[in-house]
Amino acid sequence: MPDSGMSGTWRLLWQDGWLRALTCWLPLLLFGWMTWLFNGGQVREMPVGLVDLDHSAYSRQLARQLDASSAMRLAAEYASPLAGSDALRAGQIYGLVLIPDDFEKQVRQGRQPTLTVFYNSQLLLVGRMLSASMQQSLGTLAAQWSVGRSLVQRPVPLAAIGIAVPLTSQLTALFNLGGNYAQFLLSGLLPALWQILILVATISLLALRASRSRTATAAWTQVAAQLCRDLVPLLLIYWAWGGIMLWWLYGVSAGALQGALWLLVLAQGGMVLACLAMGGLLFGLTRDGARAMSLAAGYSAPAFAFMGVTFPAHNMDLLARIWRNLLPVSHYTQIQIGQMNQGLSKLTTLAPLGSLLLFVLIWPLVIALMRRERGNA
């Protein structure tokens, strides 16, 4: 008879190579790999192309202005829009600027020439940064030209600036002043990976236990006690990995704590318990490790898209919102970002923390499914 106590579970986690990887070194490898991928923190020198049909002093000045931007660089100039679009489709450039053939003439006449900019909006981060950089560069150049024309009429610099640019604005990005996309993306990506690891480890451990156990139908209390002995080690291990993840995110990569650390630690415990429950549910429904892994992959794959980090949750359709509410990491990231980045009050965490606690209701179903498995064994 295999050792079914908690000490046996610890030995099992160490002796099985796959479980040892899931609990010991694989989380560290994944966290480090994701951090290395985004260690730049800023989008710089994205290659863009230029099609200059005007070949004038104004069009060359525009090209220099675009190339001076820190976010992009003019990688190539193409003779025709077709050649530029081919390079954009091939991924050689991220954007393409088309300057019309009467560009200088329209500028000198005080008209508004139309510049056409193409970019791939499917690359959300790149497209957003490229669009913002283009608008900033073009706005700066347009203001310079307007000031130059105004100086001809009124040779007073401040008055000319007031005529050319009557209204100025200052945009301040809250909670991420430097626009660091590593802080923005890693705060969602690492918890999503953490959730996947917990699900996979739970299913792997339960499948291994099931393959070694051939006991008859047990009472509810016996099944609950065995689940507790099996899953408490995973709870402690992944709760500890949650603390390491927080240190990794905010002690190494991002910045200082803005909220309550104890609240985050509590939320992490709820997150791990919720993921253990979902892992047990997926295994209990299938009673097969491979099928449960497939369900877990489909269940957790859209976590990063649905957690509301890159896309506002209130703008999602009904199905997406339902799926989002079924993912423990969606509720956890609300607490993490609110406390770590935004410094929100503790009252704002009550709703997502309550949602995490609701996953406790899954445990009776998990126990019932595991009893059925034992009965069929």
Q: Which of 96, 149, 150 is nearest to 120 (CA)?
A: 96
Query: What pLDDT does residue 359 have?
Result: 95
Buried b or exposed e, range 23-41, using 16+ CB within 10 angstroms: beebbeebbeebbeebeeb
For 255, residues 6+ apart whose C-beta sits below 8 A from its C-beta are 183
Per the CB < 8 A criterion, the answer to whether 297 and 279 are in contact is: no
Q: How many CB atoms lie within 10 A of CB 277?
A: 21
State the Cα–Cα distance between residues 144 and 160, nearest whole angstrom: 10
Using a 10 angstrom Cβ sphere, with 0-12 exposed, 13-18 middle and 19 or more buried, the burial of residue 131 is middle
Question: pLDDT tens digits, residue range 154-192?
Answer: 554 544 445 555 555 666 667 665 566 667 778 888 999
- Mean pLDDT, rounded, of the chain: 82
Q: Which of 275, 295, 302 is nearest to 366 (CA)?
A: 275
Where in 225-351 does DSSP place strands (E)?
Answer: none
State the Cα–Cα distance between residues 11 and 3, nearest whole angstrom: 9
Q: Which residues of the chain have pLDDT under 70?
A: 1-4, 40-43, 110, 124-125, 139, 141-173, 175-182, 213-218, 251-256, 372-377
Query: What pLDDT does residue 46 have?
Result: 84
Long-range contacts, stretch 315-321, CB < 8 angstroms, 24+ apart? none
Q: How many CB atoms lie within 10 A of CB 141?
A: 18
Q: Which residues pair with 52 in a beta bridge?
A: 99
Q: How many CB atoms lie within 10 A of CB 168?
A: 8
Question: pLDDT tens digits, residue range 193-234?
Answer: 999 999 999 999 999 988 876 555 567 888 888 899 999 999
pTM of the prediction? 0.77
> Which helix or strand (DSSP H or E) is residue 99 part of?
strand 95-99
